[in-house]
């Protein structure tokens, strides 16, 4: 996940990537301070590991956008497909299944990510 803090020199937000689950695990792994580089003022500085907090990563944002597009795409496909099939059964229900299930899956995925971020920030 992406860990953010502000540059002690210019206050710009700087970040690093780590795959630990909690902040205590992160402190144990990296120590009390971590060296970070600021793109804005081009300086390396030591920042306190406890000042870092988890935020949603850019990769996660891209994943969410892609999942939304996949759900929309599959929904259109399912609606077209079910409307093309001549049936006396209730076709609209089948057409609605994809957007509904897709949205539930997406929300579950976003909640799981939020929980991971919260777990890091609270420990």
Provide the minimum distance between the beta carbon of 121 and Zn ion in the complex, in angstroms, as a whole number: 23
**The tokens of 111 are what?**
């909640």
Cβ-based burial of 61 (10 A; exposed 0-12, middle 13-18, buried ≥19)? exposed
**The tokens of 104 are what?**
């539930």
> Of the two residues 16 and 63, which places its CB atom closer to Zn ion in the complex?
16
> Of the two residues 40 and 114, which places its CB atom closer to Zn ion in the complex?
40
Cβ-based burial of 57 (10 A; exposed 0-12, middle 13-18, buried ≥19)? middle
What mask of x and - would describe binding to Zn ion in positions 35 to 74, judged by CB under 5 A? ---x-xx---------------------------------
Residue 10 in the binding site for Zn ion (CB under 5 A)? yes
Provide the minimum distance between the beta carbon of 10 and Zn ion in the complex, in angstroms, as a whole number: 3
Rg of the chain's alpha carbons, rounded to an integer? 22
The H or E element containing residue 85 is: none
**Binding-site residue total for Zn ion (CB under 5 A)?**
7
> Of the two residues 36 and 54, which places its CB atom closer to Zn ion in the complex?
36
Q: Kindly indicate which of the ranges 30-38, 55-63, 71-79, 112-120 contains the residues binding Zn ion, using the contact rule CB under 5 A.
A: 30-38
Residue the block writes with tokens 């994943």: 63
> Of the two residues 36 and 98, which places its CB atom closer to Zn ion in the complex?
36
């Amino acid at each position: 996940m992406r860990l953010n803090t502000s540059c002690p020199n210019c206050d710009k937000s700087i970040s690093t990537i780590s795959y630990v689950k909690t902040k205590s695990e992160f402190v144990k792994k990296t120590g009390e301070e971590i060296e970070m580089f600021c793109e804005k003022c081009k300086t390396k500085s030591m920042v306190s590991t406890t000042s870092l907090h988890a935020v949603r990563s850019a990769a996660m944002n891209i994943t969410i956008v892609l999942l939304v597009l996949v759900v929309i795409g599959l929904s259109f496909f399912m609606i077209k497909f079910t409307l093309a099939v001549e049936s006396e059964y209730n076709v609209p229900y089948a057409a609605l299944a994809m957007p509904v299930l897709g949205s539930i899956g997406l929300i579950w995925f976003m909640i799981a990510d939020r929980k991971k971020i919260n777990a890091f920030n609270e420990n």
